[in-house]
Amino acid sequence: MMSTVPRRAFVLLTVLTLIWGTNWPLFPLAMRELSVWTFRTVSLFGAGSLLLIIARLRGLPLSIPRQDWGVMLLASFSYLVVWNVASAFSAISIPSGQSAVLGFTMPLWAALLSWLFLGERLSGRALLALGLGASGVLLLLIPGLSAYAKAPLGFVAGLVAAVGWAIGTILYKRRPIAASATVITGWQLLLSSLPIAVFGLIFTDRQWFMPSGLTIAVVSYVTIVPMALGNLCWFSIVGMLPGNVAGLSAVMVPVVAMVSGALVRDEPLGPPQLAAMLCCGGALVLSLLKPAAREPA
């Protein structure tokens, strides 16, 4: 087998899978005291500010070309605003592992949108990878059907999050932004916090209080690691890989989320989940690797 992607992409993918996969069980902990709006506003604003400060310290220009602001705003809204609000509502409505599975149907939507709007041809190998990924998602969804019946809005929110993420990724691939990944990620996170803060002021009671130490610790961790570092890894991966492959590269995240949910919150982990891991692993191998080319005789 021979890698079709840069070695750096594999490293970033491994980091992304671990930090995003272990992130999901933390959502309900963070939102025991905080609203979805407050949680997401703080984490997005803090992560974006942190990345822009790092970029400045590294001597990177923080400016974005004027012609790129339109696509940045659209991509930020469809991915970071829609994803962060919908996924958070989903994670507190149904088991966090099941919510992660719904959110990470994104590769299926991204592959379809890449084919429709970017002209990225789906080879037989890519279709097989998508089939395995879809099978893995289906196996993970089946045990959660009862939870979806009790909280249908959680189910819908999970799918809305996935589609929003896919649209944002395709917009970014179709119109790449002429800036470093750190600067792009920082601005998108920062900009996305503003509409969420406005929604929060409209839809929640404005009662100020000091959260517990546990809530502050969880929100701080989510802000620095999954939100800042995770999104930086993601936008770097998207810049290296075709849209459909970049989407499939995240297919192992819900598997890690399911394992994390089982360890932290005693969520189910049995034969369907183990079979799903094999399917998702196969999809990842097919999407990122290809047989070495034969040398001419």
What mean pLDDT do residues 24-48 have? Answer: 86
Q: Which of 137-146, 152-161, 227-236, 282-291 has the least mean pLDDT?
A: 282-291
Which residues constitute the domain of residue 263? 2-290
- Residue 236, in any domain of the structure: yes
Contact 167, 78 (CB under 8 A): yes
- Residue 23, in any domain of the structure: yes
- Residue 297, in any domain of the structure: no
State the CB neighbour count (10 A cutoff) for residue 234. 22
- Residue 295, in any domain of the structure: no
Local confidence band at 296 (pLDDT 50, 70, 90 cut-offs): very low
Residue 296 DSSP code: P
3-state secondary structure (DSSP) of residue 261: helix
State the CB neighbour count (10 A cutoff) for residue 271. 9
pLDDT over 60 (residue 211): yes
The tokens for 163 are: 């589609």
- Residue 115, in any domain of the structure: yes
Give the per-residue pLDDT at 4.
Answer: 55
Residue 118 DSSP code: I
State the CB neighbour count (10 A cutoff) for residue 291. 8
- Residue 266, in any domain of the structure: yes
Local confidence band at 45 (pLDDT 50, 70, 90 cut-offs): very high
pTM, full prediction: 0.77
Q: Secondary structure of the chain: what % helix, strand, coil (to 5)?
A: 75, 0, 20
**What's the CA gap between 249 and 237, in Å, rounded?**
9
Residue 289: CA count within 13 A, CB half-sphere: 11
State pLDDT tens for residues 145-194: 666 667 778 888 888 998 898 888 888 877 888 888 899 999 999 999 99
Which is nearest to 101 in space by CA: 248, 258, 216, 221?
A: 258
- Residue 296, in any domain of the structure: no
pLDDT over 60 (residue 266): yes
Q: Tally the domains of the chain.
A: 1
